[in-house]
Amino acid sequence: MIKNLLLILALVCSFSLFGQPIDTLAMRSAIERQMATYPESTLQDIYKTFYQEHFGPGHIISDTASARRYLMRELSEVGKTQSPYYEPTGSQGDYVRVYLSAVSDSLITAEQLLDAFVRSANSRQEPTVSWLEKWEAIVSIIQANKMEIEGFETDLPLLNEAARNSQAVHHSRRYNEAYHPHYRIVERSIFERELMQALK
């Protein structure tokens, strides 16, 4: 117990030397929540949730018309799922995954979700730390706390390279097969103001 606390303290200090401190305790909690909720997660899926929080949905929108077509096509293909209606990304919850089941269950409309999604892509504030710095903190937390994640050693070099290039990744095949995720990313203040009440 004492050893773990010292490791965490060292991580907090090491990632607070430059710029905005990284909340390693919140990161650890988010990783543990991810693995408890989605035990088939790989390191790639952890990368994805923190990447979504860091960058928001801007990297996946080319234009509104194509975003609408893709959403409508995905809605026509989605069956009943056991997913929640929404959940936070990363450790700070700056963005929220809103699952398409909220539309399928007629709690919100496709246009409401699309509008919130598109506006969220334009609402992102420039992060105060780089994605690579944040990713290195995530990896250090996993290693320091000896968290067991399937395929960690194999996935790590590939994801380190992706992080150096600020590259987005898809969910892992393992995660997709287990959970069939279908959602859109919405900025937290837009979500809380416009969608959350309907999804309670």
User: What confidence tens digit (pLDDT) does each residue in 97-133 have?
Assistant: 999 999 999 999 999 999 999 999 877 777 788 999 9
pLDDT digits (tens, 9 = 90+) for 83-92: 789 999 999 9
Give me the mean pLDDT over the 57-82 stretch.
81
Is a pLDDT exceeding 70 seen at residue 48?
Answer: yes
Residue 17 pLDDT > 60: no
Mean pLDDT in residue range 45-71: 88
Is the model's pLDDT at 18 over the cut of 80?
no
Q: What is the mean pLDDT of the chain?
A: 87
pLDDT of residue 79 exceeding 80, the answer is no
Q: What pLDDT was estimated at residue 74?
A: 92
pLDDT band at residue 200 using 50, 70 and 90 as cut-offs? confident
Distance CA 107, CA 97 (A): 15
**Residue 82's pLDDT is what?**
67
Is pLDDT of 172 > 90? yes
pLDDT of residue 60: 66
What is the pLDDT, as a whole number, of residue 80? 65
Domain spans of the chain, in order of start = 2-199
Model confidence at 147: pLDDT above 90: yes
- Rounded average pLDDT over 58-82: 81
